[in-house]
A and B are shown apart, each in its own frame.
Chain A
């Protein structure tokens, strides 16, 4: 059997296994190993199975992943999320939908120290959902706001997904972070606009809260300086070249641990919980990286990526239409898959294609991360939706699904802007030359 045919069969088998709830990492690893065996022989596969898991985890640059996870976990436990929410609320809570906008703002600020969307959504859900319910906010708006705001955990650097993209495509992590910053802020603004417009059309969704006076605002601000310091240290340090992203992650984790200790929020029990949570997340990410690496060994030897590049090139389409097609493809795929798996599964095909079309790899990285993050809030399979539902008693999928429509519209606007104005992504990294 030739490589292409085998590759196509392998893809069908892969999606079959994933549909049967085999963990994505295991499905990719097994299909990669079996496919590699049929295509390249048993000696080859024995060598790959023995050496690839080691070489996947071994590179020094990968230490950045568990360290950013650790930083986010400590930051959540230090009570930073609650202080952030209160600070933003003190300023805009008295507007219609103000609590929802405050949740978006707090998600963005928390995203600046957390590398993960799900962690951001779960953390802010604990903080903001009870508040909004207590003030008479409609569940539809409240739950969807936090689900959408959670994606800012990845869109605003630092971000584990951006790190994975940068490592796999050999781009500078520092430049990728810089590139994602303005698009992340744009997403924040557009989500707030989505809340504003919804509440303007239907005031019952999110009634206004009482205005907080300036002394109250200053008091709330005083509790969040530590977040600003930590973000400034980590991102500023990378940006001005004080240290590498790997080192920044370690310093950020140590800083968040220090904050938790200073705020006296860390008992031994909570400390062990932090470690357990970090272990579960890191183990999950590393296993996906290993599964993907095994799958990619097989895919590369089938010759499929080269063929795809060749065939799409032969179509003779304008590159921008191919890009638009890719975006639609990811949004559809995102209805059923999680973002990390989507990136890892498609990158071996899509990246050579995109670079052959002459697109900037950093710019495309921002687009790709943005578009796979949309998948977190598209039903039926949206991880952020599930996280909010798990944390909110009595919330049904239909309710939150209806609520996210406005935010999906905001996402479409943002994607269009990012594609049409590459400077939004490329201006900041260009200053780092």
Chain B
């Protein structure tokens, strides 16, 4: 049961990240086409900036949950490496709980802002796209991140209590600077 939930969450995060990267490829294509058209006939794509901003919102926020699951978010493990299994689990539990709290708060209060802006009828500068479209990836990505963190907290708590590691397959992490 728990294993199945893990697998679903893992697949969901990975697919969400891929959807985000499709947005990134879209931003790449729109910007490149815009530049080429501008050089050819001196008129680019109308509202290209509005579209690229929407795609980058998608790319950024839909990629964040995967970062949590792959433990790709930059952390300093110097001290925790000296801990035993239970000590490490305690540190993991703390990190996961704080991550869940922060990402959950971002989703929760972000929803307030999104609803308020929808009420005002806020739109993008050139194309007049509803700001709600820009909010959807943020709310999705941060809520999913919170969920991933809850899952990691449960795993860490399991190890902390039983002393056994929860065996969930992990994708390789690749944190970069």
Contacts and interface: CB of A to CB of B under 8 A. Distances in A.
Contacts of B109: 46-47, 49-50
B172 to A, nearest CB: 9
Given A247-B35, A284-B74, A33 B175 contact: no
Contacts of A198: none
Nearest to A288: B74
A395 interface: no
B95 interface: yes
Contact of B63 (A30, A60, A286, A380): A286
A272 B110 CA distance: 31
B80 A287 contact: no
Given A21-B91, A381-B76, A50 B177 contact: no
Contacts of A251: 31-32, 35
B153 interface: no
Contacts of A60: 49, 52-53, 56
Interface string A267-308: 000001001111111111011101000000000000000000
A10 interface: no
How large, as a class, is the contact surface on chain A? 35 or more
Given A250-B27, A282-B59, A283-B66, A25 B78 contact: no
A119 B177 CA distance: 8
B110 A53 contact: yes
A250 to B, nearest CB: 3
Contacts of A23: 73-75, 95, 99
B5 to A, nearest CB: 22
A333 to B, nearest CB: 11
How large, as a class, is the contact surface on chain B? 35 or more
A374 B55 CA distance: 34
Contact of A21 (B35, B57, B95): B95
A117 interface: yes
Given A22-B75, A26-B73, A276-B14, A51 B113 contact: yes
Contacts, number: 225
Interface stretch (A12-20, A99-107, A316-324, A399-407): A12-20
Nearest to A161: B177
Nearest to A20: B91
B68 to A, nearest CB: 8
A283 B63 contact: yes
A118 interface: yes
Interface in A365-401: 376, 380-381, 383
A185 to B, nearest CB: 21
Contacts of A272: 18
B173 A24 contact: no
Given A50-B112, A60-B53, A251-B35, A30 B101 contact: yes
B31 A63 contact: yes
Interface in A336-375: 336-341
A21 B79 contact: yes
A253 B159 CA distance: 43
Interface string B116-151: 000000000000000000110010001000000000
Interface of B: 14, 17-18, 20-21, 24-25, 27-32, 34-35, 49, 52-53, 55-57, 59-67, 70, 72-80, 91-92, 94-95, 98-99, 101-102, 105-106, 108-113, 134-135, 138, 142, 171, 173-177
- List 10 tightest A-B contacts by C-beta distance, closest first: A283-B63, A50-B109, A250-B31, A283-B67, A23-B73, A279-B17, A275-B21, A50-B113, A279-B63, A286-B60
25 contacts: A19-B79, A20-B91, A21-B95, A22-B75, A22-B98, A49-B106, A49-B108, A49-B110, A53-B110, A54-B57, A54-B135, A62-B60, A63-B31, A63-B53, A66-B24, A67-B27, A70-B25, A251-B31, A253-B28, A275-B18, A281-B72, A281-B175, A283-B66, A286-B60, A339-B177
